[in-house]
Structure 1
């Protein structure tokens, strides 16, 4: 069975590879702003779950619509993910610009926020969608208080611009995180515990998707 990751995130891919998977990566290209705008006052968990579902659905349409024997008719599971940070009463995604990243860190330094990750899974058998499910995982992140010089250097690295919340746990941003309460892998981008539970809901065991023996 093929495991398809509907995300271009190298961090998510790295988590899955470390956990014994060898995913195929297919980027959805979903307009996240349009999906968010289509929802009426969504709760944070609803928003990330809807975005994850939209990504998985788009990749399903792309693969099945390609009419390729080795893609469209294959048995596979497609996993879509989306992450956002809930802090100071606001849901925030990627800062994108240095100015936005600087403002983000000024508002969250010394505080705590909840990193919410939504996952959606579609099971495909013989080219047909047979099952689908979704869920969310929330993890509390406690931010440190970096100096101005540290923040300037971090922003200059470019790392915080393209990641949810403007920080990483497994990269340069890890120096500025005091701790977390919850699932480490979820903060990186894909929750292994949640993914395992959702795969079980569509009748797939993670051990059947391992591509290498445990070391």
Structure 2
């Protein structure tokens, strides 16, 4: 593993251990610099919301990074029937979230912002989001309480972690599994390549 990806120092503007593990999965060992910027956005459209928050985090950290750094900012929310869910404030909110997801299909949105630090306060970047559909088996109230008692839901959007014990309640997904965990790895890797080497993938496609 390396913290120097194709000549760029990778910085993750997130304290999420899951996002760090996902990057390590594709051979990137990021420097962890969580953004302390207060999360606020003008929109409640889930896709626009996660991009706006991801961009704010990435730009916050990039402003203090040296030339040759690529900053990755990310934000994940769950949406059901137009209602956006972030992390639960307490166990009561976690219960309400999980009860509303029980037996239904919801959407998980992760926004990602990439910022290249070019020196002299010059930056170049891109922003995108991915959506994944997740269907949940019906849950009984006592099953929800038992899951909450594990502590797993409390730091996760929608009050669950698909990579943890909540996997027992996942009926199916449509889209990128890693997007639900916290970073859409396939899309992220190709966006990173495109940002650093614009046009390279198109040239490879032409050769083939």
TM-score by length of 2: 0.86
Q: Following the alignment from structure 2 to structure 1, what is the Cα–Cα distance between the partners of residues 197 and 118?
A: 12
| Kept in 1: contact 2:98–2:158 (CA 8 A) | no
Q: Following the alignment from structure 2 to structure 1, what is the Cα–Cα distance between the partners of residues 163 and 177?
A: 9
- 1:84-143 CA-to-partner distances (Å, cap 9, x unmatched) read 011022011111210001111111100001100000000113464331110000000101
Q: Following the alignment from structure 1 to structure 2, what is the Cα–Cα distance between the partners of residues 87 and 150?
A: 20
Matched, 1:51 2:44: no
| Kept in 2: contact 1:122–1:129 (CA 8 A) | no
| Kept in 2: contact 1:3–1:78 (CA 8 A) | yes
| Kept in 2: contact 1:136–1:194 (CA 8 A) | no
Q: Which of the pair has the greater relative contact order for Cα pairs under 8 Å at 6+ separation?
A: 1
Query: 1:146, CA displacement in angstroms?
Result: 2.3
1:15-26 correspondence runs (5 A): 15-26=22-33
1:55-204 correspondence runs (5 A): 55-61=57-63, 63-64=64-65, 72-73=66-67, 75-126=68-119, 128-204=121-197
Q: Following the alignment from structure 2 to structure 1, what is the Cα–Cα distance between the partners of residues 197 and 162?
A: 29
Secondary structure of the 1:185 match is helix
1:6-45 correspondence runs (5 A): 6-32=13-39, 35-36=40-41, 39=42, 41-45=43-47
| Kept in 2: contact 1:52–1:118 (CA 8 A) | yes
Alignment root-mean-square deviation, CA: 1.6
Q: Which runs of 5+ in 2 are unaligned?
A: 1-7, 199-208
| Kept in 1: contact 2:99–2:144 (CA 8 A) | no
Secondary structure of the 1:187 match is helix
TM-score by length of 1: 0.84
Aligned residue pairs total: 191
Q: Which runs of 5+ in 1 are unaligned?
A: 65-71, 206-215
